[in-house]
Chains A and B, each alone.
Chain A
Amino acid sequence: MYTLPLSLVHGSPPAAQSPAAAADAELVAQLQQGSEAAFRTLVERYQNRIYRTVLALLRSPEEAEDVAQEVFVEVYQTVGRFRGEAALSTWLYRLATSRALKNRRRARAQKRFAYFTSLLGFDNQVLYEPVDQVHPQARLEEQQQLTRLLALIDRLPDQQQVAFTLRHEQELSYEEIAAVLKTTVPAVESLLFRARKTLRHHLTPALRHA
């Protein structure tokens, strides 16, 4: 879990704020005054981005919905401590990615536990994660490649996976990703380079032989 206050990693001085940043700042101010309408606006403005990010990391619509809800609940409960030193979107992406990774670690621990208890003869079938859903109308080759890509993304180290998802799924800039991960732009470049290299290395034979 990331803690507040958020550190200033990127961004321009307040005088040169973009209209979106200014609107977010105004939204935060209203939220801190307890405005219900502001909270609704926040949720509606960010729900798709947060949901898609979490879904890309968890690959389960039910879990993604659950984590996305948790993110907004946490925002509501802790917005009083938000000092605006980072962008609102940065804070939301941070909460979303950290919660998603935490959720996934818990799910994996449950899966390991279910495996061991199944070895001992207990019936824990319900704890197994469902098989990833695939689009029934997708072409077979594309489907195989996508399935393989998803499996490979899933096996990337956490930081690489978050950086890759934010870059290619959310199309965030390197600076924005660096802010979310509390790191530098060169570090993000390195994470993305390693992630792409790993994925392409493992995918290329499949692509060539498909």
Chain B
Amino acid sequence: MPNSLPRPNPDEEWESLLRHWQARQPTQPRPFFYSRVRARLTGEGPTAHQALPTWLRWPGYAAMLGIILLLSGDGAVLPSTNPTNEVKPYLGDQPAARALR
């Protein structure tokens, strides 16, 4: 008579549940696990050595930015020739200024 059987106490149920949890876990990975680890190791090796540290790349980026700005063509960093109709903001010692005094 299943209904007449007493239920286990909560502690027993808890332990039983934990045992079921342990039992349902697969015990091992798929076969040839070592071969896959080895293949992965072989695949990762060269890239790890080729990659430059991040800090080593920053000077390169800065130099590249400087070259781009220099060649960008807005002329801001190069002195232009003196145009003849340029307004002189200060006339201190020039003849025209002396005549006005």
A150 proximity list for chain B (CB < 8 A): 21
Is there an interface contact between A48 and B28, defined as CB atoms closer than 8 Å? yes
Say yes or no: B25 contacts A72, CB within 8 Å.
Answer: no
Complex contact A146–B21 (CB within 8 A) = yes
State whether A77 touches B48 (Cβ < 8 A). Answer: yes
The smallest C-beta distance from A119 to any residue of chain B, in angstroms, reads 35
Judge whether A198 is part of the interface by a CB distance below 8 angstroms: no
B27 touches A52 (CB 8 A): yes
Majority SS at the chain B contact face = helix
Partner of A69, one of B24, B36, B48: B36
Does B34 interact with chain A (Cβ within 8 Å)? yes
Chain A: interface size category: 20 to 34
User: Residues 94-107 of chain A: 1 if any B CB is under 8 Å from the residue's CB, otherwise 0?
Assistant: 00000000000000
Encode B35-68 as 1/0 by CB contact (under 8 A) with A.
Answer: 0110011001000100000000000000000000
Within 8 A of B (CB), among A161-210: 168-169, 200, 203-204, 207
Q: Which residues of B have CB within 8 Å of A89?
A: none
Contacts of A51 in B (CB 8 A): 26, 28-29, 33
B22 beta carbon closer than 8 Å to chain A: yes
Cβ A73 vs Cβ B37 within 8 A: yes
Partner of B24, one of A65, A77, A146: A146
Q: Which residues of A contact B88 (CB under 8 A)?
A: none
Given contacts A40-B34, A43-B34, A69-B37, contact A61 B24 (CB under 8 A): no
User: Given A43-B34, A168-B21, are A207 and B40 neighbors across the interface (CB < 8 Å)?
Assistant: no
Q: Known: A69-B37, A146-B21, A149-B21. Contact between A200 and B30, CB under 8 A?
A: no
In the bound complex, how far is the Cα of B20 from the Cα of A142, in angstroms?
A: 8
Please choose the segment from B9-17, B74-82, B90-98 that sits at the chain A interface, where 4 or more of its residues have CB less than 8 A away.
B9-17
Interface residues in chain A, defined as those with a beta carbon under 8 Å from any beta carbon in chain B: 40, 43-44, 47-48, 51-52, 55-56, 61, 64-65, 68-69, 72-73, 76-77, 135, 138, 142, 145-146, 149-150, 168-169, 200, 203-204, 207
**B residues near A, CB below 8 A?**
10, 13-14, 17-18, 20-22, 24-30, 33-34, 36-37, 40-41, 44, 48
Q: 18 A-B contacts, Cβ less than 8 Å apart?
A: A47-B28, A47-B33, A48-B29, A51-B26, A51-B28, A51-B29, A52-B25, A56-B25, A61-B26, A64-B29, A65-B30, A69-B36, A72-B37, A73-B41, A142-B20, A150-B21, A168-B21, A200-B10
Q: Which 6 A-B pairs have the closest CB atoms?
A: A51-B29, A48-B28, A43-B34, A72-B37, A69-B37, A47-B33
